[in-house]
Amino acid sequence: MDPNRSSSPKSGARRQDLVGDRVEEGLAIEAGFENWLAIARHAGRDPQTRAGNFATDLALAEDIEAEERLLVSTAPDWSAAVFFETHTAGGSDYTKGSEHYVVRYRAGGETRVLKATIPGKYGRFEYTPTIYLKSLTLLNSFVPSLEIRLHGIRVAADAKPSLVTSMHYIKGSHPHPKEIEKYLFPLGWENFHDNSETLDFRHLTLRQVIRDAHPRNWVREKDTGSLVPIDISIEEF
């Protein structure tokens, strides 16, 4: 018998603690996204990472359903259920929005925001789980101070999966729409209008579109006065 291995209950508990610690810390969103892509490709899928590239609404719906089945089958090995329940149980500011369950929690001396997708929703109706995660990587690149992390998958009682992420909490108030334009225009963004019904901006050099840029998705940071997007979507084109 290998002397470095033990089958005692104590050692088993320690292994579970280590797994729990990793889930609590999560993966940087870029690493989490790459991990998800690897899982999808191992399952024989070639996931679409750009919105609007589906031929029909039916093709989009079928892709979402296929990715949800993969999320459910992956959940036992990448579960964020305990992480979610630990930080949402009894949380006084635990809320359910139109797209996410949201709650603040403390970790490593900082306040973070846990966000779990409402089952069946991934940011925008035209997003698959893959496109949702890609959007988060682009948001984190735009605002690295958010430190977005992917903690794993939670499967609800109705067998629908949620993606569980977290980000640094930004304390402040919501800005005026004109403040958002004043912030974005010098960075090369311009107003953009297509068939979307949200406030959107486009950057021709970066070949990116910001969606859902309305004031409630931004915070004017209390200490610095800086504008920080906290819940916008970013797409590549």
pLDDT of residue 162: 97
pTM, full prediction:
0.89
CB-based contacts of 221, cutoff 8 Å, min separation 6: 170, 171, 172, 227, 228
3-state secondary structure 141-202: HHCHHHCCEEEEEEECCCCCEEEEEEEECCCEECCCHHHHHHHHHHHCCEEECCCCCCCEEE
Residue ranges, the chain, pLDDT below 70: 1-22, 91-92
Distance, in Å, from the CA atom of 34 to the CA atom of 217, rounded to the nearest integer, reads: 26
Pairing of strands 190-192, 172-173: unpaired
Q: Give kind and range of the element (H or E) at residue 13.
A: helix 9-25
pLDDT of residue 1: 38
Is residue 106 helix, strand or coil?
Answer: strand
pLDDT of residue 4: 37
pLDDT of residue 92: 66
